[in-house]
A and B are shown apart, each in its own frame.
Chain A
Amino acid sequence: MSRVIRPYGDATGDGMVQVSFTLPIPHDKRAEGAAAQLANRMGIDPALVVHARAMGPDFTFFVVYGRVNHLVELDKVVVVERDFPLLAPKEVNARIKAQLRRPLVVVGACIGTDAHTVGIDAILNIKGFAGEKGLEYYAGFEVHNLGAQVPVPELVAVAGEVRADAVLVSQVVTQRDAHLHNTEEMTAAFREAFPRARRPVLVVGGPRFDESMAEQLGVDRIFGRGTTPAEVASYLVHRIVGEGRR
């Protein structure tokens, strides 16, 4: 496979892309020209403004097709690859039982004002996500799902009370970067409340997190969109139970 690629429309190397956007101007000829200009500056040349529609008197919506002149260099792509083996529920339970010799304690919550428990529930509830059962289903985990809008001090208190090995926090609301601020607040509180060696493993998840920001936010791991319960379970085993031999 070539290490340098271009977008694919209907022929290799044609570089074709489609974009849509809105400009805050009334719909007329000049607006369409403005859309083409923007597309050109985005590297789309030639740009075909295939659709323009007035949305009220002050805005116009555009769909643009065209060829981008940018190249993608696959060697320079940076992603967070899964750096732990994916385990089946049976293996997860066996590893915890054999090596930890007690249930691995997990506390989960949506913190701050976030009321969207979809993420944390997908990972923790028995029901699970994408056909995979959640952590509550595993014999090896003791799960405390605190639900929505849990204040950070309460989360810290519960984590101490139940001697949590890991704290899972899900954040969906991103308005004004609430997910980032809430996460920073949480990690600061845990750093303050626990000595370094006894601090639970901190994991955050949500559709809009950048998985490479873990260090910056002070968490041990970030999970993004589409994460399954098995991935989280495998990570916790890897991180807490360790890589020891069976």
Chain B
Amino acid sequence: MRVALDPVQVARARGLAASAAQPVLAITREHTTVSIERAVLRMAGLEGADAEGIPWVNRLVDAVAEQVGLQHGVALPVWDALAAHRRSGVAGGADPLLTLAQRAAAGSVQFRIPQGRAEGSARTAALRAARGGVRRVDRQRAVRERLLARHPVEHQPWVYLIVATGDIHEDVPQAQAAARGGADVIAVIRSTGQSLLDYVPEGATREGYAGTYATQENFRIMRAALDDVSKELGRYVRLTNYASGLCMPEIATLAGLERLDMMLNDSMYGILFRDINPIRTFTDQHFARQVHARAGIIINTGEDNYLTTADAVDAAHTVTVSQLLNEHFAKQAGLEDWQLGLGHAFEINPDLPDSFRLELAHALLARTLFPDAPLKWMPPTKHMTGDIFRGYLLDAFFNLAGVLTGQGILLVGMMTEAVVTPWLSDRDLALQNVHYVMNAAGRLGEDFTPADDGFIATRARHVLDEAVALLERIDADGLLPAIADGTFGLMKRPADKGRGLDGVVARAEGYCNPVTEVLDEPRPAPRVAGPRP
């Protein structure tokens, strides 16, 4: 099902988004961040943490930053120091990078910015290490494609369920039960507060608040558990986590290394809702998305959040604007259409006359604007009142709008939203709701096309016009000033404020990031693994 839009206006919207994003992309190319540099080390294979739980990547990046700064990147000083280690006969053991990090943390490594031939060999060695990591990411992508061929997911939308106990060993049986109940995607929601940690916790974790920490080991444990259940069900169950917050580039890297399938990754969410510095966010995000592109990971963007703070009718066009910006930033990082789980949500006040028609109009606008993207459709939360019976009805209408408008990823709504973290029975009832609607009306969209001059099509065009008007303003004022003014979600976030600003570094002439260099090398076109739109 599609809605009739003016192709000139659509092109104008995309052009404005590209133009508004341009200065921000230029800024990201002039900066690096502590988390990007730590991601470089993670890609090169540095794992683990010291006795206090501080990851070795943090220790090593901090040591380099303190001695010679990060403006040239961490790679040149680190691989130069590794070469010096080898020359002077320091025992590197099985893992020279780890040994270097340990010695650097103890203050016994002298870093420098290598020049001339030393620079050339440090760069070559760093590239070799980065290429090893990227190759691991490529292998994981190949494994996913093989498993998908063996255990295909034939239907759409994909049914997306959240698990969040705080304890990875408790999450495993819950996730497997959810998969057996019909979930195609398991999202392990993170512990509240993780987005503001400037390090990635280490190991398997059993203590989290309203979620489970994203760690490399937790990723590994959950992916293995879902591989088991995928085999049992003959249906590949995808795993989702969050590449957001201060460690976005590192978590994206770990996701690629451990074969996560989808990652929440929004261009502005951290700025608006976590008060993370805008430059930090955009710079981190570009790197993270380059890794996602390579890993064949589908990103999920967070436009639903705007509608929880602003009115879903008045602010409908801000969702469209954000989707267009997300799309442009994503394409610039190498992501393809099938990897863009652009977000939107069913959050219109149900007491409003024609609320369902308005929802259909907004959902169809997104569907028509992004015909090849697997849209992420988010359930009602704001108008879930605690009346679970009414909530169950609202979720059914949400599900119906989702299947009718061809959404790619459907996050299952819970009737106990705003009451409790979902009980076993809540999840079971919610899945019954989804399956009833998919079974009863899954292909209903084939039978209807909204009338060109009808309410739905008119509303969709109106929202697009509003989006274009807002994009014109953003393009004229600049995206960063627009964010500072509270254009999105009513939050005001100036570019020189916010968390993580001290981790942003302007790149110097000769800055070296071996991971992005490897990612930028030409390679054969990958096979498409997204849901059919």
Say yes or no: is A195 at the interface (Cβ < 8 Å to chain B).
no
CA distance A121 to B181 in the complex (A): 36
Contacts of B195 in A (CB 8 A): 115
Query: Which residues 182-209 of B sit at the A interface, judged by CB distance below 8 A?
Result: 191-193, 195-196, 209
User: Is B311's CB under 8 angstroms from A175's CB?
Assistant: no
Of A59, A114, A117, the residue contacting B424 (CB under 8 A) is A59
Nearest chain A residue, comparing its CB with the CB of B309: A121
Interface majority SS (helix, strand, loop, mixed), chain B: loop
User: Is A127's CB under 8 angstroms from B275's CB?
Assistant: no
Of B191, B273, B309, B386, the residue contacting A125 (CB under 8 A) is B309
User: Is A173's CB under 8 angstroms from B310's CB?
Assistant: no
User: Is B274's CB under 8 angstroms from A176's CB?
Assistant: no
Say yes or no: is A225 at the interface (Cβ < 8 Å to chain B).
yes
Nearest chain A residue, comparing its CB with the CB of B388: A20
Of A20, A56, A115, A178, the residue contacting B274 (CB under 8 A) is A115
User: Is B308's CB under 8 angstroms from A127's CB?
Assistant: no
Nearest chain B residue, comparing its CB with the CB of A115: B192
User: Is B425's CB under 8 angstroms from A149's CB?
Assistant: no
Interface size class of A (residues with CB under 8 A): 20 to 34
Least CB distance, A34 to chain B, in whole angstroms:
16
Say yes or no: is B124 at the interface (Cβ < 8 Å to chain A).
no
* A21, A127, A175, A176 pick with most chain B CB within 10 angstroms: A175
Contacts of A55 in B (CB 8 A): 181, 424-425, 428
Of A21, A117, A126, A175, the residue contacting B210 (CB under 8 A) is A175
CA distance A127 to B195 in the complex (A): 27
Say yes or no: is A99 at the interface (Cβ < 8 Å to chain B).
no
Of B166, B209, B421, B428, the residue contacting A61 (CB under 8 A) is B428
Query: Which residues 56-109 of A sit at the B interface, judged by CB distance below 8 A?
Result: 56, 59, 61
Say yes or no: is B418 at the interface (Cβ < 8 Å to chain A).
yes
User: Is B273's CB under 8 angstroms from A148's CB?
Assistant: yes
User: Is B425's CB under 8 angstroms from A173's CB?
Assistant: no
Nearest chain A residue, comparing its CB with the CB of B432: A53
Nearest chain A residue, comparing its CB with the CB of B427: A55
Least CB distance, A173 to chain B, in whole angstroms:
5
Say yes or no: is A22 at the interface (Cβ < 8 Å to chain B).
yes
Contacts of A114 in B (CB 8 A): 192
Contacts of A59 in B (CB 8 A): 424
Say yes or no: is A118 at the interface (Cβ < 8 Å to chain B).
yes
User: Is A56's CB under 8 angstroms from B418's CB?
Assistant: no
Say yes or no: is A207 at the interface (Cβ < 8 Å to chain B).
yes
Say yes or no: is A229 at the interface (Cβ < 8 Å to chain B).
no
Query: Which residues 10-52 of A sit at the B interface, judged by CB distance below 8 A?
Result: 20-22
Least CB distance, A239 to chain B, in whole angstroms:
28
Least CB distance, A150 to chain B, in whole angstroms:
10
User: Is B311's CB under 8 angstroms from A149's CB?
Assistant: no
Say yes or no: is B490 at the interface (Cβ < 8 Å to chain A).
yes
Nearest chain A residue, comparing its CB with the CB of B166: A175
Query: Which residues 448-486 of B sit at the A interface, judged by CB distance below 8 A?
Result: none
Nearest chain B residue, comparing its CB with the CB of A175: B210
Nearest chain B residue, comparing its CB with the CB of A21: B425
User: Is B209's CB under 8 angstroms from A115's CB?
Assistant: no
How many B residues, CB 8 Å from partner? Answer: 30
Contacts of A173 in B (CB 8 A): 192, 209-210
User: Is A113's CB under 8 angstroms from B423's CB?
Assistant: no
Say yes or no: is B85 at the interface (Cβ < 8 Å to chain A).
no
Say yes or no: is A205 at the interface (Cβ < 8 Å to chain B).
no
With A61-B425, A113-B191, A127-B310 in contact, is A149–B196 under 8 Å at CB?
yes
Contacts of A56 in B (CB 8 A): 177, 180-181
User: Is A113's CB under 8 angstroms from B192's CB?
Assistant: yes
Nearest chain A residue, comparing its CB with the CB of B381: A118
Nearest chain B residue, comparing its CB with the CB of A116: B192
Contacts of B386 in A (CB 8 A): 207, 225
CA distance A221 to B438 in the complex (A): 47
Say yes or no: is A147 at the interface (Cβ < 8 Å to chain B).
yes
Least CB distance, A95 to chain B, in whole angstroms:
28
Contacts of B180 in A (CB 8 A): 56
Nearest chain B residue, comparing its CB with the CB of A24: B424
CA distance A114 to B418 in the complex (A): 14
Digitize A130-154: 1 where CB-to-B-CB distance is under 8 Å, 0 elsewhere: 0000000000000000011100000
User: Is A148's CB under 8 angstroms from B428's CB?
Assistant: no
CA distance A53 to B431 in the complex (A): 13
User: Is B425's CB under 8 angstroms from A20's CB?
Assistant: yes
Least CB distance, A14 to chain B, in whole angstroms:
20
With A125-B309, A175-B209 in contact, is A149–B192 under 8 Å at CB?
yes
Least CB distance, A142 to chain B, in whole angstroms:
16
Least CB distance, B423 to chain A, in whole angstroms:
7
CA distance A112 to B192 in the complex (A): 9
Digitize B489-522: 1 where CB-to-A-CB distance is under 8 Å, 0 elsewhere: 0110000000000000000000000000000000
Contacts of B429 in A (CB 8 A): 61
* A113, A126, A178 pick with most chain B CB within 10 angstroms: A113
CA distance A206 to B483 in the complex (A): 29
Query: Which residues 301-340 of B sit at the A interface, judged by CB distance below 8 A?
Result: 308-311
Nearest chain B residue, comparing its CB with the CB of A55: B428
User: Is B490's CB under 8 angstroms from A127's CB?
Assistant: yes
Of A21, A125, A178, the residue contacting B490 (CB under 8 A) is A125
Query: Which residues 205-237 of B sit at the A interface, judged by CB distance below 8 A?
Result: 209-210
User: Is A147's CB under 8 angstroms from B275's CB?
Assistant: yes
CA distance A83 to B449 in the complex (A): 56
Contacts of B166 in A (CB 8 A): 175
Contacts of B196 in A (CB 8 A): 149
Digitize B388-422: 1 where CB-to-A-CB distance is under 8 Å, 0 elsewhere: 00000000000000000000000000000011010
Contacts of A20 in B (CB 8 A): 425
CA distance A53 to B432 in the complex (A): 11
Digitize B359-397: 1 where CB-to-A-CB distance is under 8 Å, 0 elsewhere: 000000000000000000000001000100000000000
Contacts of A121 in B (CB 8 A): 309
User: Is A176's CB under 8 angstroms from B308's CB?
Assistant: no
Least CB distance, B153 to chain A, in whole angstroms:
21
Query: Which residues 152-196 of B sit at the A interface, judged by CB distance below 8 A?
Result: 166, 177, 180-181, 191-193, 195-196
User: Is B418's CB under 8 angstroms from A207's CB?
Assistant: yes
User: Is B209's CB under 8 angstroms from A113's CB?
Assistant: yes
23 contacts between A and B (CB under 8 A): A21-B425, A22-B424, A53-B428, A55-B428, A59-B424, A61-B424, A61-B428, A114-B192, A115-B274, A117-B309, A118-B308, A118-B309, A125-B309, A125-B490, A127-B310, A148-B273, A148-B275, A149-B192, A149-B196, A175-B210, A175-B421, A178-B209, A207-B386
Give 7 nearest A-B pairs by CB, closest first: A113-B193, A113-B192, A61-B425, A55-B428, A22-B425, A173-B210, A175-B210
Chain B residues packing against A (C-beta within 8 Å): 166, 177, 180-181, 191-193, 195-196, 209-210, 273-275, 308-311, 382, 386, 418-419, 421, 423-425, 428-429, 490-491
In addition to A117-B273, A149-B192, A175-B210, 15 A-B residue pairs with Cβ atoms within 8 Å of each other are: A22-B424, A56-B181, A112-B193, A113-B191, A113-B192, A115-B192, A115-B195, A115-B273, A117-B309, A121-B309, A127-B490, A173-B192, A173-B210, A176-B209, A207-B386
